[in-house]
């Protein structure tokens, strides 16, 4: 069943033209390496992309950790100041409610804090907070709920600095606060020095483009989210928390992510990268698309090149094929314009040469056919000699006058057959059987005309040749010569033998008469003329022999023709050789 299927399939895509074969070959040769190398490169690239994404994510979180720690440490440096004269004075005078003297310190602190804010982007507010919640900050003096504030605080690993979870500060900004205790030398009350950091700073620190779905987040040691691009999640326990944030691939809300994290000991925070695996795949898809498009482009180029090359190669062949076809349809005016010196050009030249040769042969053939027709006509003319017809008709009239109706009937019948066979419906070739009948009719008529002065014998040994075709009017002219030039001049009882046989695939006829014979010199001259070794300007000289000989040569080639042998006073033999291998 499969065999049939494949056969049908292959039959459907059967390749008929050289051009198609060339195109397919070139395509296979061109495409296979490209596809293989493309596939190999893609796989290598895929692995490299995955490695690169992981490495990039790790590098990003490490860099963020460094940036974050640098940022926080600068603020910590400010918060961890030893003793500040202005702050100390302010605390002391505030406790004493000495507003008159304190206002210049308040002004100085506002100025200092605002200068610091200017220098440190993302620093929203700097404040000193008293135990009762009174606070002086870069925005002035106000009160906060200290208890609530302390609830948000948790210490770092050193215990000297505290952080708060994200919250909305006095100015309704989303911040985290870094807090340090300050113990003024001149007052008993310790205060808190704090810095509010805008969550946008964390957003800026994590503003690395990993992709549209990929993101970074920051969480504290308990997994509570400090920063997340989705602000609604800030403050909530992260779903990713699993005794830390170990690196892994995970599924979150139906999306695959590559989680990479690092831990900042300075802040006690985890910095977590969530690279969307889908986007990595998307990047790979992008690469796949690029590879595909490049392959298509290369394919297109290869196809165009292939078409160009195959056309270049096959066009002369197609032209040759077309011209050959036209030549086969008898248009022998065709000629290929050959250029170059490759095999196809040589083939074209050979084709042109062949066509020229065929044209020559055709011309020759036409000439020969014309000659043949002419010879046939001449032979036929020779058949219908008026005195032959008149004598025969006179003879028939004599028989009728003598009331010898039987013989008259035979004569009329023989004469009719003679002419019918002579014309043979215009056919060029006749069966040997009919040619023999024709000779018999002729001999019957001539024998009766000449008073039965001679006998004739028709001897065809090989009856198979009777059904072979030969040019018509081959035997009769020779027999006529035998009668008129051999027997009639002779005094003795004449005999004409017409013998047919086959030898070495040649058909031979021997017409032998026991007439006066021909002088040897003349025989030699006749044979030289017949073989073309001797030219003669007299077209009527040996007309019958030459006509038959030329026709045979035209029909069967140079090996066919006549040869004359004679023993003067004894006999003359004309041998007709028909070489069937040279027949048309």
Q: Summarize as ranges the residues that interact with another protein (CB under 8 A).
A: 86, 97, 99-100, 103-108, 110-111, 114, 138-143, 170-172
CB of 130 to another protein, least distance (A): 13
CB of 201 to another protein, least distance (A): 19
Retrieve residue 566's tokens.
Answer: 């004679």
Backbone angles phi, psi at 197, to 5 degrees: -115, 125
CB of 86 to another protein, least distance (A): 7
- Radius of gyration for the chain, computed over Cα atoms and rounded to the nearest angstrom: 63
> Locate tokens 């620093």: which residue?
123
Cβ burial of 375 (10 Å; 0-12, 13-18, 19+) is buried
**With contact defined as beta carbons under 8 Å apart, do 176 and 82 qualify?**
no
- Residue whose C-alpha is closest to residue 191's, from 246, 255, 287, 126: 126
Is residue 413 helix, strand or coil? helix
Residue closer to another protein by CB (options 161, 195) is 195
In 433-517, where do the E strands start and end? 454-460, 469-471, 494-503, 506-513
**With contact defined as beta carbons under 8 Å apart, do 80 and 161 qualify?**
yes
Residues paired with residue 276 on neighbouring β-strands, in sequence order: 257
- d(CA 260, CA 257) in angstroms, rounded, equals 9
Residue closer to another protein by CB (options 170, 543) is 170
- Residue whose C-alpha is closest to residue 266's, from 400, 75, 115: 75
CB of 166 to another protein, least distance (A): 17
Residue closer to another protein by CB (options 136, 475) is 136
Residue closer to another protein by CB (options 93, 482) is 93
CB of 92 to another protein, least distance (A): 14
Q: How many helices and strands, by DSSP H and E, does the chain display? A: 14, 20
- Residue whose C-alpha is closest to residue 190's, from 268, 263, 91, 306: 91
Residue closer to another protein by CB (options 110, 419) is 110
Residue closer to another protein by CB (options 110, 241) is 110
CB of 114 to another protein, least distance (A): 4
Residue closer to another protein by CB (options 172, 540) is 172
- d(CA 403, CA 409) in angstroms, rounded, equals 11
CB of 185 to another protein, least distance (A): 18
Residue closer to another protein by CB (options 93, 526) is 93
CB of 171 to another protein, least distance (A): 5
* 3-state helix vs strand vs coil in the chain, percent to 5: 55, 20, 25
């Amino acid at each position: 069943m499969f065999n049939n299927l494949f056969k049908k399939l292959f039959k459907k895509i059967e390749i008929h033209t050289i051009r198609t074969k060339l195109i397919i070959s070139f395509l296979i040769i061109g495409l296979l390496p490209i596809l293989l190398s493309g596939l190999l490169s893609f796989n290598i690239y895929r692995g490299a992309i995955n490695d690169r994404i992981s490495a990039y994510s790790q590098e990003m979180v490490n860099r963020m950790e460094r940036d974050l720690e640098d940022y926080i440490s600068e603020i910590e440096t400010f918060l961890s100041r030893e003793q500040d004269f202005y702050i100390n004075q302010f605390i002391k005078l505030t406790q004493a409610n000495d507003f008159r003297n304190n206002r210049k310190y308040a002004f100085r602190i506002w100025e200092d804090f605002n200068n610091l804010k200017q220098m440190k982007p993302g620093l929203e507010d700097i404040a000193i907070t008293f135990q009762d919640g009174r606070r002086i900050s870069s925005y002035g003096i106000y009160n906060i709920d200290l208890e609530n504030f302390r609830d948000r605080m948790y210490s770092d690993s050193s215990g000297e600095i505290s952080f708060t979870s994200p919250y909305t500060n006095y100015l309704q900004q989303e911040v985290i606060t870094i807090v340090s205790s300050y113990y003024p030398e001149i007052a008993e009350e310790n205060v808190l020095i704090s810095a509010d950091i805008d969550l946008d700073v964390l957003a800026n620190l994590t503003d690395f483009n990993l992709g549209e779905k990929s993101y970074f987040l920051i969480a504290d040691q308990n997994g509570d989210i400090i920063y997340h691009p989705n602000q609604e999640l800030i403050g909530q326990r992260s779903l990713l928390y699993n005794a830390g944030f170990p690196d892994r691939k995970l599924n979150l809300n139906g999306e695959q992510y590559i989680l990479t994290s690092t831990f900042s000991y300075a802040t006690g925070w985890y910095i977590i990268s969530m690279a969307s695996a889908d986007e990595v795949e998307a990047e790979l898809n992008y690469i796949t698309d690029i590879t595909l498009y490049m392959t298509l482009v290369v394919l297109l180029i290869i196809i165009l090149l292939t078409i160009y090359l195959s056309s270049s190669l096959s066009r002369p062949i197609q032209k040759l094929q077309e011209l050959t076809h036209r030549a086969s349809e008898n248009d022998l005016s065709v000629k290929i314009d050959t250029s170059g010196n490759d095999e196809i050009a040589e083939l074209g030249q050979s084709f042109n040469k062949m066509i020229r040769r065929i044209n020559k042969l055709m011309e020759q053939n036409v000439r020969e056919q014309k000659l043949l027709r002419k010879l046939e006509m001449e032979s036929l003319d020779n058949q219908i000699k008026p005195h032959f017809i008149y004598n025969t008709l006179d003879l028939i009239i004599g028989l009728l006058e003598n009331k010898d109706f039987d013989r008259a009937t035979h004569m009329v019948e023989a004469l009719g057959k003679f002419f019918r066979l002579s014309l043979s419906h215009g056919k060029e070739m006749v069966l040997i059987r009919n040619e023999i009948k024709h000779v018999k009719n002729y001999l019957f008529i001539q024998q009766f005309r000449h008073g039965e002065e001679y006998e004739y014998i028709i001897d065809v040994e090989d009856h198979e040749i009777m059904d072979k075709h030969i040019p018509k009017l081959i035997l009769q002219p020779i027999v006529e010569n035998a009668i008129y030039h051999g027997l009639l001049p002779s005094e003795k009882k004449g005999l004409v033998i017409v013998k047919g046989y086959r030898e070495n695939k040649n058909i031979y006829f021997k017409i032998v008469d026991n007439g006066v014979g021909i002088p040897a010199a003349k025989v030699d001259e006749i044979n030289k003329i017949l073989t073309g070794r001797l030219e003669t300007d007299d077209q009527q000289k040996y007309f019958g022999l030459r006509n038959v000989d030329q026709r045979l040569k035209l029909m069967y080639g140079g090996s066919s023709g006549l040869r004359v042998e004679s023993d003067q006073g004894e006999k003359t033999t004309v041998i007709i050789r028909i070489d069937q291998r040279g027949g048309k």
